[in-house]
Amino acid sequence: MKAILPLFTIAYATVALLFAVAALAVMGFAVMGLWDAIGPREGQALAVRAANVIESIGLLAVSLVGLEMAQTVVEEEVVRRVHVSAPTRVRRYLSRFLVVVVIALAIESLVAVVQALHERPETLPQAASVSVGAATLLAAWGVFVRLNRTVEELEPEGIEEAKREDHKVQ
């Protein structure tokens, strides 16, 4: 089994690299959309330009999720080489991921609502459902953290071990 573990480290590093590459590609699309919105061109309506800026914000939010996932995978699986099993590690790992996902969903829902209001009002319920989903995910995450804290009190050595591992990524 120990001979296979380095292969997992390589696989995790590869996935992290792909997350980062995808995030940079999406970031490039966001920059192109933003340039299209603010670039010196005639004949483009202000509402279209504003929609392009808002779409760029959404793409940047998605890019942020990709970069955060890359960083989390590198720090947790490559640098620390920990296996997510203890309650403290699970909470920290999921919290890092969910913070970014909730923020990205909230930004995407704002983008979708603005676009629905200006372009297709009939899609407003779908845009609002993304907001409800983000709020539900945030509430569920809060419940998870609350319940997980009680488990951590039963295992205080897990918190101390996780704190000792933090020096590897600082």
Give the pLDDT confidence of 32-89 residue by residue, as tens digits. Answer: 999 988 887 777 777 778 878 888 888 888 898 889 889 888 887 777 666 555 666 6
Q: How confident is the model at residue 100 (pLDDT cuts 50, 70, 90)?
A: confident
Q: How far is CA 148 from the centre of its chain?
A: 21
Residue 76's nearest CA partner among 2, 12, 28, 23 is 12
Amino acid at 147: L
Taking the model in full, what pTM does it have? 0.67
CB atoms within 10 A of CB 25: 12
Mean pLDDT over 138-159 rounds to 77
Higher pLDDT, 131 or 149: 131
Q: Give the number of residues written for the chain.
A: 170
Mean predicted lDDT score pLDDT of the chain: 81
Confidence check: pLDDT of 151 > 90? no
Interatomic CA distance for residues 80 and 74, integer angstroms: 8
Which of 15-19, 47-51, 117-121, 153-157 has the least mean pLDDT?
Answer: 153-157
Mean pLDDT over 140-155 rounds to 78
CB atoms within 10 A of CB 134: 20
Contact 58, 108 (CB under 8 A): yes
Confidence check: pLDDT of 96 > 80? no
